[in-house]
Structure 1
Amino acid sequence: MNIWAEAANLSEKAEKFKALHQGDKAFVLPNPWDIGSAKMLAALGFEALATTSAGFAFSSGKGTSIGEISRREALDHAAEIIAAIPLPVSADLENGYGDAPETVAETVRLAAEIGLAGCTIEDTTGDRDNPIYDRTLAIERIAAAAEAVAKLDRPFMLTARAENYLFGRPDFDDTLARLKGYEAVGADVLYAPGLPDLETISEVCCSVSRPVNVVAGIGLPGVTLVELEKAGVRRISAGSAFARIAYGAMIDAATEIQKTGSFAPFKSAASFTSLERLIKSV
C-alpha cells in the first residue's frame, strides 16, 4: 500500500469509528488481548475493537498496575492489532504514561501516528496512597490530549476516564464533575467504569452531551445491552472480560485435572477447524 492509500485507509477507519458513536443505537466494542483474539473478534462481525491493558498484561505475564506495561510496549501491541485486522482500533493507554499534561499529549500524538482511531486516558496516578489525580490536573491532562487531537488531519476519538469507583471512592458528584470537565476541554467520549447501577449511568448520560462508554465486564450483573442503550449509553466495552473468560476456563480445566485426573474439561475446547476458520477469514 502506498503512502496515499494508507492515509486514505486510516481516515476511512477513523471516520467509521466516529460514526459508530453518533448513531441512535449502542454498539459493543470488544477488547482483544492478542492478534489471534483480534482476528477472531473481527471475523465474528464486530465493527471496531479496542485493546485492553489488563488483558495484554496477563498475556505478557505481568500485573495490571500502572507502569508495568510501558508506553512503547502498549503502542507496539496496538500496532500489531491494527496491522492484523481491517477494523478501526482504539487503545487503552492507561494514564497516558506520565503525570504531566505534555506527556499525555505526546502519548496521544504517538497513538495517532501508529494508526489508532482513538484511545482512552484515565485519571489514575499509579500511586496507591493517592490513586486519583487532583481534578484540576486531571482536566488539564485531557485538555492537552484534546489539543493534540485537534492538530490531526482525521478524527480521533479521545475517551476520558474518571476512575473514582474503581479505587474505593464512590463519589458521584466528583465523578460527574470530572466527566463534565473532560467534556468541556474536548473529550469525545466519557467513561466512568464501575458505576453501580442503571440509574446512576442514566444520570451521567443525561448530564453530558458526549457519548458515554460503559464497561460490561465490571459489575452490573444481569444488565443487558438493551437496558444500557435505554439508559443513554452509546458504547459498551468488555474491558479485560474476554481475556479473563479465556484464562478462567483454562484455570478451571487445569484445576479439575489436578484434582480428579479427568480430562473431561477438554470437551468444551474449540475445534482446530473453527479457530482456523475465524483467523483465516480476516
Structure 2
Amino acid sequence: MNQTEKAKAFHALHKKGDPIVLYNIWDAGTAKAVADAGAKALATGSWSVAAAHGFADGEKLPMPVLVETAKSITAVIDLPLSVDFEGAYSAEPEGAAANVARLVEVGAIGINFEDRVVAGEGLYPVESQAARIRAIRAMADSKDIPFFINARTDLFLAEGDLAKHAGLVDEAIERGRAYAAAGGNGFFVPGLIDPALIEKICAASSLPVNIMMRAGAPDVKTLAKLGVGRISYGPGPYRSMMEKLKQEAAAIYSLL
C-alpha cells in the first residue's frame, strides 16, 4: 500500500463497538514482532520509545530521534503506522504542524496529539488546542494525506483520584466535540477505566473513542460493548518486555 492507502485503511479500522487493538511498539524490531503476530496496524507509545533510547517521557527524547525511529519502522513494515507525538514538540500551531509534517514525510499516517502542556502545567485551553489541531489538519490536507489525528485529552490521566473522574466527563465531552470540529479523527481518553463513564463518552462522541489498557480497565470484549473504537496498551508492552529481560538476565548472573 502507498501512504494514502495506508491512511484510508487505518481510518476504516476504527469502528465503534468493533475496536482496532494496538499493541504499542517502540522500534522496527518490535514492529516486526507485532506485525508477525497479526496486527492490522501499528502504533508507537511515547513513553516506550523514549525509554528505549534512555530518555524520560515528556518530549525529553530529541525529536530527530523520534522521526528516525518512525522512518526505520515504515521502511521495513508495510502496515499503517501511527506515532505517539505527545504535544508535537511545539506550543504554537504553526510549529506543531511543521513538526508533524516531518512524520508525514517518513511515512507515518497518524499521530496521538495531547492537550497537556508538556513543558508546563495543566492543559491547553480548548480553543488553543483546537487551533493546533486545525493547523495540523491543514498541513496534512495540503499534502493530500487523510492523516489520522487521535486527539487526546489528559483530563483523566492527570487526576489520580478515580472518584473524581465522573466530574470531568462533561469537560471531556466538550473537548472531544471541539477537537472533532477542528479536524480530529479519534478521541483518546487515557486514564479513564470506569465502564459507565466510558460508555457515556462513547455515546456522546462523534469520533471513535480510544481507551488505554491499564490495571482495572475493562477487557477488550467489554470495551467493545461499551462502544469503544480503539484500544491501545501504552507503555505496558515495554514494561512487560523489560521485566522479562531483567528476570532472564538475573537468572543467568545468579549462576556466576
**Fold-level similarity (TM above 0.5):** yes
- Structure 2 SS opposite 1:213: strand
Correspondence 1:89 to 2:84: no
Corresponding residue of 2:45 = 52
Corresponding residue of 1:63 = 56
Task: Report how far residue 242 of structure 1 moved.
Answer: 0.7
Match of 1:138 among 116, 129, 138: 129
Alignment identity in percent? 32
Corresponding residue of 1:120 = 112
The alignment's TM-score, normalised by the length of structure 1, stands at 0.82
Correspondence 1:33 to 2:29: no
The alignment's TM-score, normalised by the length of structure 2, stands at 0.90
Residue identity opposite 1:40 in structure 2: A
Distance 1:204 1:102 in 2: 30
Task: Report how far residue 126 of structure 1 moved.
Answer: 2.1
Correspondence 1:172 to 2:169: yes
Structure 1 contact 194–219 (Cα < 8 Å) conserved? no
Structure 1 residues 127, 11: CA separation in 2 closer, same or farther (over 3 Å shift)?
closer
Residue identity opposite 1:110 in structure 2: R
Residue identity opposite 2:235 in structure 1: S
Deviations 1:215-241 (A, max 9, x none): 11x3434x2211111111111111111
Residue identity opposite 2:113 in structure 1: I
Task: Report how far residue 143 of structure 1 moved.
Answer: 1.9
Indicate the RMSD between aligned Cα atoms, in angstroms. Answer: 2.0
The number of residues matched between the two structures is 250
Match of 1:42 among 35, 42, 45: 35
Matches of residues 81-230 of structure 1 in structure 2 within 5 Å?
A: 81-127=73-119, 130-168=121-159, 170=165, 171-216=168-213, 218-221=214-217, 223-230=218-225
- Structure 2 SS opposite 1:91: strand
Gaps of 5+ in 1: 1-7, 264-282
Distance 1:36 1:160 in 2: 27
Corresponding residue of 2:71 = 79
- Structure 2 SS opposite 1:21: coil
Radius of gyration: which is bigger? 1
Distance 2:52 2:97 in 1: 27
Structure 1 residues 15, 23: CA separation in 2 closer, same or farther (over 3 Å shift)?
farther
Corresponding residue of 1:280 = none
Residue identity opposite 1:238 in structure 2: Y
Distance 1:95 1:246 in 2: 26
Gaps of 5+ in 2: none
